[in-house]
Amino acid sequence: MQISRANRPAWRQRLVDAETGFRIGLRTDSTLFMYLFVGIGVLFSGFVFRLSVIEWAILVLTFGLTLSVELFHQLLKLIVHEFRHYIGQNLNQILRLGTAAVVATNVSAIIVLLILFGSRIVEAIG
C-alpha cells in the first residue's frame, strides 16, 4: 500500500524526496557512484587505521561536503540544460564555475585524507 504525498508528514516527505534525489543523482552521472565507491574504501581504511572520534568527524564532514557539492553541480547542469534558451551566452562560464567548485572541494578532500591517513601510514611504516 502506497501512502499518498498529501497524507505523509512533512519530515517523511522530505526524506522521500532526498532518497529520490540521490537515486536521480546516481542514475544521471556516474561521478556520484564513483564518490560512493571511493567513500566506502575510505571508510574501510578508517576502521583499519583506527581513527579517533575527531578524525571520524572530519572524515564524515569531508565526505558529506564532497557529495553535496557534486549533487549541486548536477543540479546546476540540469538547470543550465533546461533553461538553455533563457540563460544566454554565459552557459560555458556557469558550468566551468560549477566544475571549479567541485574540483576545489575534491582537492581539499584529498588534502584532508592525506593528513588523516598520511600520519597513520608514516606511524605504521616507521
Q: Catalytic site residues?
A: 70
Q: Find out whether 70 is annotated in a ligand binding site.
A: yes
Taking the C-alpha atoms of residue 52 and residue 58, their distance in angstroms, rounded to an integer, is 10
Helix, strand or coil for residue 51? coil
Asked whether the beta carbons of 14 and 35 are under 8 A apart, the reply is no
What residues have CB less than 8 Å from 114, skipping those under 6 apart?
Answer: none
Asked whether the beta carbons of 98 and 77 are under 8 A apart, the reply is yes
- CA distances from residue 49 to 80, 86, 121, 124 in whole angstroms, order as listed: 42, 51, 8, 9
Q: Which residues are annotated as a binding site for substrate?
A: 70
Q: Which residues are annotated as a binding site?
A: 70
